[in-house]
Amino acid sequence: MATPENKLAFDGGWEYSPAPESTDHIKVEKKYELFIGGDFVKPESGKYFNTINPATEERLSRVALANDADVDKAVKAARKAYRGPWSRMKPADRGKYIYRIARIIQERAREFAAIESLDGGKPIREARDVDVPLASAHFFYYAGWADKLEYAFPGRKVRPMGVAGQIIPWNFPLLMAAWKVAPALACGNTVVLKPAETTPLTAMKLAEVIADAGLPEGVVNIVTGAGDTGSSIVSHPGVDKIAFTGSTEVGRIIQRALAGSKKKYTLELGGKAANIIFADAAIDEAVEGIVNGIFFNQGHVCCAGSRLFVQESVAEQVIRKLKDRMETLIVGDPLDKNTDIGAINSKAQLETIQSYLDIGKQEGADIYQSACALPDKGYWCRPTLFTGVSQSNRVVQEEIFGPVLAIQTFRTFDEAISKANNTPYGLSGGVWTDKGAKIFRMTQSVRAGVVWANTFNKFDPTSPFGGYKESGIGREGGLHGLDAYLRLEA
Amino acid sequence: MAAKAERSKERVAVAKTYKIYIDGKFPRTESGRYFTLEDPKGNVIANVCRGSRKDFRNATVAARKAQPGWAGASAYLRGQILYRIAEMLEGRREQFIAELKLQGVTQRAAQKEVNASIDRLIYFAGWADKYQQVFSAVNPVASSHFNFSVLEPTGVVSIIAPDDSGLLGLISNVAPTIVGGNTCVVLASESMPLSAVSFAEVLHASDVPAGVVNILTGLRSELTEHFASHMDVNAIVFCDGARKTARTVQELASDNIKHVVARTDIDWNRDSAQHPYLIRDTQEVKTTWHPIGS
């Protein structure tokens, strides 16, 4: 920690004693089966895959690999549950089951946070303070909608879609499951959920919660596997609606695969958000916002503020302060409560990030990385800045999904907007200024679904989230998030 | 075309050359191609422009250029302009009725269609400054932030207008698209293209800025794929496509994650064919956060 650059460590460098979250209270089984029709069942394939701790490269558990036959079983179980108890149940009772899920997650929050951190590599502080409480809050919010849906869409009657197939990513495993499952259930649908192959554990824990909450069997089914399992859900004729969160590349394949079917779909895809700092911003707050924007969750965030635009007159100051701040960031053991940046989620993702670091350098950008120490084992990436980049650089145009920030400058408002919008993505954006009028004009001009003014990376169950342009179709969260799981009729 | 008029003792009628409408101008198709529209007896009514991919691309450039300005116009102004379109159409009722009849629609049905078209424009004109209030939200987030969600236009929309409803079908899809601040490129009905071209003249006289609505005539079999695949189009509204066409549209739309709005099996004459959810179909939800503090 005590590096010469470390100007923010006022006494010349703090040494933090380790403060690891204990894991002796959590239960991770040696093996996880598929959750179909209310039971934990063996996969038809007989195959299992490893899920590993990216901070230690050690195996945490073995998880069932679902094939077409398993997906078919899950869809049939979901259909049966839909026809049977779930769509006929009193909406208020449906809501009560969802409330139960919210409550049990709260009761087991500590365990969920630790497992999320172990399986995905995210800092325990984030899992504890963001992922798990938000997941519970999401169930709590949508539970209340179950018997109030008729008030959400004036002039329309609402009906559930039927069976929802849901495919979620590895960056916020439990939270994304909550984003998908909670509104689907509230609207009267049943679910086949596939967690990401590198982070299946909290979804399997959620299966336990759902069983403990006494939901009728088959209302939620969870099948684990990789891309093939996902594509089996997408193409299954018994699925009425697909909800996908992941890369634009896969989203495109899914949209194409759904062509000609009657399936409704929502896609929450990639991003390359502009975070725009005006000279009249509160600079220290803005620097915190930049750090939160790109280094939160190792930058594994689709709405990460991965393109920084700084007004020229303050660029030098902002970049200097940002570098000072980066030196204080602790990269390491995700379970340690001091850790700011945990492990990169997987070896494959680390390789992707590293390839972009090489590309950035080859394209002539200047690279800066903090001087922090990295653990010997596991997958790690130092917080990284690129300066001297232009709009056409690949590190400016393409989603890296890591702690890598590309910095550009601007002089005028119009220049900032035109650069910010020069991307096929449109998920999120940020603006920092003390002028109210500028905030309004800016937030109106950024072509993105979520815009944070003088803040960044904030989420709430009541707040719709989703992208413009190639960042996706549809919204999740809030009243607007109900739409994805309902048929609106005259 | 003018043969009948010549034989009569009436004055020699001036036949109209039907053009396309791009960026507020009325060119013929750049391709120089045409297809003939015939009456039931096989007489040629018009040599209609057989629009090309290049026409469509030009129209899309115009639509993109016009979009920020149109979206930036006040809701009040957009409403007034839609109302103005209705006024202009009202003044030309007879022309539109005659033209529909020329394309095989009965007098009664033509009258009904023109009346409904005018009324539909008024309907959506009225929504201009209201849909936002119906579909927006202030979201009670748990943290100390002010958070609200509003609708914004998705951008440039390509529209394959209904084939069986040459005027009303077109207006029923164009009006909700543009009232929300989008601009559009429309492929007119192939079997009844004349009303669309004359409607462009109405638009032209109604203070609709150039490029906000662009109207092409041509063959669906040729142009649909371009309407679906263009990388600078944000959404495609397609009406009465066969299942195979729907599939192709979806597949091509995925190139840039276009929104696909399928409006099939809709009787555009019915009142139920007008509602604000048609506006919402080509809108995005934008959520804005700001801290609350000192």
Which CATH architecture fits B19-280? 3-Layer(aba) Sandwich (3.40)
Q: Do A259 and B149 touch (CB under 8 A)?
A: no
- pLDDT of A8 over the 90 cut: no
Cβ neighbours, 10 Å, residue A153 = 19
The CA distance from B40 to the nearest CA of chain A, in Å, is 35
Single out the catalytic residue among A116, A126, A302, A470: A302
Which of A 439-458 lie inside 8 A of B, CB atoms?
Answer: 439, 443-444, 447-455, 458
Q: Which of B258, B283, B259 has the alpha carbon at shortest distance from B127?
A: B283
Distance CA A489, CA A263 (A): 16
- pLDDT of A14 over the 80 cut: no
Query: Quick one: pLDDT at residue A9?
Result: 61
Terminal Cα distance for chain A, rounded = 64
DSSP string covering A281-312? S-HHHHHHHHHHHHHGGGG--TT---EEEEEH
User: Which pair of structure tokens corresponds to residue A41?
Assistant: 């069942």
Would you call B259 an interface residue with chain A, using a CB distance cutoff of 8 Å? yes
For the structural domain made of A274-453, what CATH number should be given?
A: 3.40.309.10
ipTM of this predicted structure: 0.96
Domain ranges of chain A: 31-269+469-489, 274-453
Domain ranges of chain B: 19-280
Contacting residues of A for B69, CB less than 8 Å apart: none
Of A267, A448, A452, the CB nearest to B257: A267
Give bridge partners of residue B150 from the DSSP assignment: B286
Would you call B149 an interface residue with chain A, using a CB distance cutoff of 8 Å? yes
Would you call A490 an interface residue with chain B, using a CB distance cutoff of 8 Å? yes
Query: Quick one: pLDDT at residue B40?
Result: 80
Q: Is A150 part of the annotated catalytic residue set? A: no
Would you call B234 an interface residue with chain A, using a CB distance cutoff of 8 Å? yes
Terminal Cα distance for chain B, rounded = 75
- pLDDT of A2 over the 50 cut: no
Of B155, B285, B288, the CB nearest to A475: B285
Distance CA B23, CA B40 (A): 34
- pLDDT of A4 over the 60 cut: no
Of A267, A462, A469, the CB nearest to B141: A462
Mutant choice from A242, A253, A255, A488 vs B, greatest count of B C-beta within 10 A: A255
Write phi, then psi, for B153 (nearest 5 degrees).
-60, 145
Q: Do A479 and B285 touch (CB under 8 A)?
A: no
Cβ neighbours, 10 Å, residue B107 = 11
pLDDT digits (tens, 9 = 90+) for A46-59: 999 999 999 999 99
pLDDT digits (tens, 9 = 90+) for B83-113: 999 999 999 999 999 999 999 999 999 999 9
Q: Do A137 and B142 touch (CB under 8 A)?
A: yes
Q: Which residues of chain B have pLDDT under 50?
A: 1-2
Q: What percent of chain A has pLDDT over 70?
A: 97
User: Which pair of structure tokens corresponds to residue A262?
Assistant: 């009657």
Of A255, A463, A488, the CB nearest to B250: A255
Would you call B134 an interface residue with chain A, using a CB distance cutoff of 8 Å? yes
* CATH among 3.90.380.10, 1.20.120.1200, 3.40.50.150, 3.40.605.10 for A31-269+469-489: 3.40.605.10
Contacting residues of B for A469, CB less than 8 Å apart: 234, 256-257
The CA distance from B255 to the nearest CA of chain A, in Å, is 7
The CA distance from A272 to the nearest CA of chain B, in Å, is 15
- The SS3 assignment for B34 reads strand
- pLDDT of A10 over the 60 cut: no
The secondary structure element, H or E, covering residue B260 is strand B259-263
- pLDDT of A273 over the 70 cut: yes
pLDDT digits (tens, 9 = 90+) for B128-184: 999 999 999 999 999 999 999 999 999 999 999 999 999 999 999 999 999 999 999
pLDDT digits (tens, 9 = 90+) for A286-343: 999 999 999 999 999 999 999 999 999 999 999 999 999 999 999 999 999 999 999 9
Would you call A479 an interface residue with chain B, using a CB distance cutoff of 8 Å? yes
Q: Do A252 and B254 touch (CB under 8 A)?
A: yes
Of A154, A252, A490, the CB nearest to B257: A252
pLDDT digits (tens, 9 = 90+) for A159-188: 999 999 999 999 999 999 999 999 999 999
The CA distance from B66 to the nearest CA of chain A, in Å, is 15
Which of A 101-120 lie inside 8 A of B, CB atoms?
Answer: none
Identify the closest residue of chain B to A440 by CA–CA distance.
Answer: B288
pLDDT digits (tens, 9 = 90+) for A222-257: 999 999 999 999 999 999 999 999 999 999 999 999
Residues in contact with B205: Cβ distance below 8 Å, sequence separation at least 6, in sequence order: B88
- pLDDT of A6 over the 60 cut: no
Q: Is A268 part of the annotated catalytic residue set? A: yes
Of B139, B244, B288, the CB nearest to A451: B288
Q: In what order do the strands lie in the sheet with B145-153?
A: A366-369, A384-387, A404-410, A307-311, A274-277, A428-432, A450-453, B283-291, B145-153, B137-138
Contacting residues of A for B291, CB less than 8 Å apart: 454-455
Mutant choice from B263, B286, B292, B294 vs A, greatest count of A C-beta within 10 A: B286
Identify the closest residue of chain B to A260 by CA–CA distance.
Answer: B247
Single out the catalytic residue among A268, A327, A399, A470: A268
Of A449, A458, A479, the CB nearest to B286: A449
User: Which pair of structure tokens corresponds to residue A7?
Assistant: 């100007």
Which DSSP symbol is given to B278?
Answer: H
Contacting residues of B for A268, CB less than 8 Å apart: none
Distance CA A71, CA A454 (A): 44
Cβ pairs A/B, distance under 8 A: 119
Q: Do A463 and B141 touch (CB under 8 A)?
A: yes
pLDDT digits (tens, 9 = 90+) for A123-150: 999 999 999 999 999 999 999 999 999 9
Please check whether the two domains, A31-269+469-489 and A274-453, share a CATH topology. Answer: no
Would you call A481 an interface residue with chain B, using a CB distance cutoff of 8 Å? no
